[in-house]
Amino acid sequence: MAADGAFEPIRTERLILRPPVLSDADAAYERRSLPEVGRYQDWEMPYTRANAEESTAKAAAIDRISESGWNITVVDAAAPERILGDVYAELRWGGRVGYIGYTFHPDHWGRGYATEASQALIRHLFTVCGVGRIESSLDPENPSSARVLEACGLVCEGWTRESFWVGDECSDDMFYGMLRADWDVWGNRPRSRPERVELVPLTADNQQAVGGLATHHSQQRLVTPMLGNLRDALAPPRRDGAVVVPWYRAIEADGTIAGFLLATESTDAHPNPLLWRLLIDRLHQRRGIGSAVLELFEAHCRSEGAQAIEMTWGEGPGSPAPLYLARSYEPTGKIIDGEVHAIKRLA
């Protein structure tokens, strides 16, 4: 931030976040007029060149983040003439809260640019603007946007029904937030592969940590939350006409509770153990823990004399399928409760 409070460009590894200028209108029109871009945004379609010129002129007349809101242009650091998109910043509650948003051209989706730019903007809002909280909102039907916020450390705090209007179109609205203390925890979370991963029984000493395990909200369509896991462990359902016998363990990574495994015992009714649920806490994902857990569970099943392990997984963005396919879990062609059924032979 310049001495007079004006915004100075922010540089990241691949990007530059700079104040907008009038010539940015062409790129703004090009991306914002696309149906796939406007689908989940707060402007009415069709988005015209006049709309782009008006909004760009308004933004170019501002030189700092304020309660009026501001669209900051994001360009490629290696080619600053190439505009990738923009990020939105707004101060609320007298500068105590920062609100963020982002819009990128589809040609640049899936490369981590929105996450990288948002992380830089969040850092600026916390460390330079001095806010105590960051928040954002999105359409619940936009999981890609949710994953951007989650990668920045924000958590889903609520969902309101039919509460967001754009013209005559209405949708639900999902709210994400993060406090400065949350940001510190997220930034200091362990990133490296743990030296030791263990499957340990649930005890009076670790039950609270196990109960507090949570994935990102966008993953809940693929991974059952802990309440459901504990419910099924305590009151197991029937499978193929017979009640399953649960086998469950907490996952420890270097002595810290990092996840939960729920499986079934091998019985006469169910000779193949079922790898039922595998949850890795959001603070411990991308550390190689899941693969280590599968190796431990497979060794346990072999020691019990099992010949194969069965499991199911959900398809779609964020699916754990690559993890299981890499460990030779082979789809059988069956679909059970909407999920892919797979088996791994242990013999």
**H-helix or E-strand containing 100?**
strand 97-104
Closest CA to 331 of 340, 320, 319, 321: 340
Q: Which two tokens stand for residue 222?
A: 């693929």
Which pLDDT value is given to residue 5?
Answer: 74
Which alpha helices (H) appear in the chain, and where do they start and end? Answer: 25-32, 35-38, 49-60, 113-127, 143-151, 180-187, 207-211, 226-234, 289-303, 321-326
Which alpha helices (H) appear in 86-196, and where do they start and end? Answer: 113-127, 143-151, 180-187
Which pLDDT value is given to residue 317?
Answer: 84
Looking at the DSSP bridge assignments, the partners of residue 88 are 71, 101
Residue type, 324: Y
Over the range 65-84, which residues count as b (16 or more CB within 10 Å of their CB) and which as e? beeebbbbbbbeeeeeeebb
Between CA 284 and CA 209 the distance in angstroms is: 13
Q: Are 218 and 150 in contact (CB under 8 A)?
A: yes
Which residue stretches of the chain have pLDDT < 70? 1-3
Compute the half-sphere exposure of residue 307: CA atoms within 13 Å on the CB side of its CA.
3
CB atoms within 10 A of CB 2: 9
Q: Are 299 and 199 in contact (CB under 8 A)?
A: no
Between CA 201 and CA 40 the distance in angstroms is: 44
State the helix-helix crossing angle for 180-187 and 113-127, rounded to 10 degrees: 130
Chain position carrying tokens 């299981």: 324
Q: Are 15 and 77 in contact (CB under 8 A)?
A: yes
Q: Is 61 exposed, middle or buried (0-12, 13-18, 19+ CB in 10 A)?
A: exposed
Q: Phi and psi at residue 148, in whole multiples of 5°?
A: -65, -50
Q: Are 67 and 61 in contact (CB under 8 A)?
A: no
Which pLDDT value is given to residue 2?
Answer: 62
Alpha-carbon distances, residue 223 vs 106, 215, 227, 294, 319 (angstroms)? 28, 8, 11, 16, 9
